[in-house]
Amino acid sequence: MRTRTAVVAALTAALVLTTAVPAPAAPGGPSRAAELIGRQALPANDGWAAAGTGTTGGSAAAPDRVRVVRTRAELVDALGGDNATNAADTTPRIVYVAGTVDGFEGPDGTPLDCADLADPEYSLAAYLAAYDPATWGRVTPSGPLEAARVRSVANQTRQTQINVGSNTTIIGLRGARLTGLTLMIDRVDNVIVRNIEFADARDCFPAWSPTDGDTGNWNSQYDQISVRRSEHVWIDHNTFTDGDNPDSAQPVYFGRPWQVHDGSLDVTHTASLVTVSWNRFAGRDKVMLIGSSNTVGPDVGRLNVTVRHNLFDGTLQRLPRVRFGQVDVHENHYRLGGPGFAYALGVGVQSALYAENNFFTLTGDTGPADLLYDWGGTALTERGTWVRQGDRLPRPVDLLAAYNAAHDPDLGGDAGWTPTLRASRPLPTPVVPFVVEAWAGAGRLPL
């Protein structure tokens, strides 16, 4: 265990970095501090993304592959020039985001809305009239209106899904924000995303799924960051929110909330070797899905992810939800509870979740037994958990024992592996909320 002096030193170092004053910027370019941070690689042994060749992103970029972008068109151009083919461009590059880049921005800078992306044969009013369960029944929508919705989704995907190639670093300058878009990291290797606020990756055309749950659900398509079929990805010091378009403000159709948001950061479709560190997830419903299907197949042996030193603040579920992978969740701070809260750690099919030294601050009637959910898994390793419940003093809690006392069947206590890819020994759990609060999220790097 670290000494008190070492803990204070670590916290002080984090605060110094947080408040550091960057060097003066060169005209039209990033500051010297930003140039140095833009070329940083993931440190050795820092989670699963450090395995094998490690994660260096665009650190080898030539000077002409270092760009500052302020618009969607500039972002697409900096990533290779053609959004349809950018994922295949492996040239090392560093992309600095300045200000707000909006996915709903046309090539000429004109703001777009959902109506601009809708197929001519689609309208929400007609869709609701056609597929009302009172007349359509509990049958998956089909026919011309559903086909028009699917074409509308394709239009939006071309507009708001920004494809990222291998050997890329995307890093925000101070105040950088990506709104209304998805960073798609698919079939690539070696990507770093840091110091950006992601807001409101909204779906204009949610799908009605009448057999999802007891009464059906609306489901959206777009994550804020989606990692698929990729390796060596480091997601660090970002903030994820719904911006000024929260789920609570959405209407209700067919008796269910109109769900326009999907995940904050999903790792699916055989992706692996991902480190998620020092991020802030605030006020979101679905946060982090690791593994998208219960089907035993290509995901087996994949989906290995490290989730460390993140703040989950007022989030409702998937913190993360895990299938198949060996997932190391350590030294995170969770502020949870209240209306809509579902669970924190989802133990899914063949998952091997290792949770260590996490701190939970709970409100309302949420208790330790509510923090796990069995999605078809059998076991997890859980140790060093502390809980502060309401006005009570923080205390160590055996989270697994609390869950098993309230639920059947019991979950086992051995995930079958022990993490080795950690850059340092874990902090004592009582210190975790102070360090994470000071250091997690966009705006903490000295850019």
C-alpha to C-alpha distance for 146 and 85, rounded to whole angstroms = 28
In the DSSP assignment, the letter for residue 75 is H
Contact of 331 with 432, CB cutoff 8 Å: yes
Residue 229 tokens read as 């079929």
Q: Which helix (H) or strand (E) holds 313?
A: strand 311-313
Q: What is the DSSP string of 208-273?
A: EETTSTTT-EEE----SEEEES-EEEEEES-EEE-TT--GGGS-EETTEE------SEEEETT-EE
Query: For the chain, how many residues are written?
Result: 447
Sheet with 380-383, side-by-side order of all strands: 66-69, 93-97, 168-172, 189-194, 231-236, 272-277, 305-308, 326-330, 352-356, 380-383
Active centre residues (catalytic): 318
Q: How far does Cα 194 stand from its chain's mean position?
A: 12
C-alpha to C-alpha distance for 165 and 73, rounded to whole angstroms = 16
Contact of 80 with 89, CB cutoff 8 Å: yes
Q: What is the DSSP string of 118-138?
A: S-TT--HHHHHHHS-HHHH-S
